[in-house]
A and B are shown apart, each in its own frame.
Chain A
């Protein structure tokens, strides 16, 4: 009796933990996708997400959290390849601008203004020259 109860409790606790671990990442991406569609969050040439204007705390924290994860991934790869984190991030930025920005979404190159992607491909910075789709 006691044993079956504790086993159920353990299972419930494990399920709860699993849900806690999975939910934020999923919710975060949903928040960011919505903000991208709304034109308040966009990809930047430096490999990170940027915010245009003022956004809710939810959006800001989701962007910050994702950028931290990206930086960790860039740092990892950069150390494997012997390049700077900024270089790794910027080369990834070429790719995200080339293939992860949909028409109508915003993006930013350098310190320039936010632009909205039209029907054609984004005019990438010169150093991206060979970054194909």
Chain B
């Protein structure tokens, strides 16, 4: 009987700690991104350009009416 209560307490404590850990982890996840300043003065990371290049090509190819020559 006493033993059971002890286990229950420990479990509760442990789950509480786990929950606190999860919440703490969630808050820390977002890493600050490098500032991106755009509009007429464009600054982009090379990695983003590489990743989006094919999308940009496809966009132009598939929507010629948006890119009249």
Contact = CB atoms under 8 A, between A and B. Distances in A.
B19 interface: no
B36 A86 contact: yes
A46 B42 contact: yes
Contacts of A127: 42-46, 49
Interface residues on B, range: 20 to 34
B66 interface: yes
Interface residues of A, number: 39
Contacts of B55: 77, 81, 88, 91
12 contacts: A29-B65, A32-B68, A66-B66, A77-B59, A84-B36, A86-B36, A91-B53, A92-B56, A96-B60, A129-B46, A130-B50, A131-B49
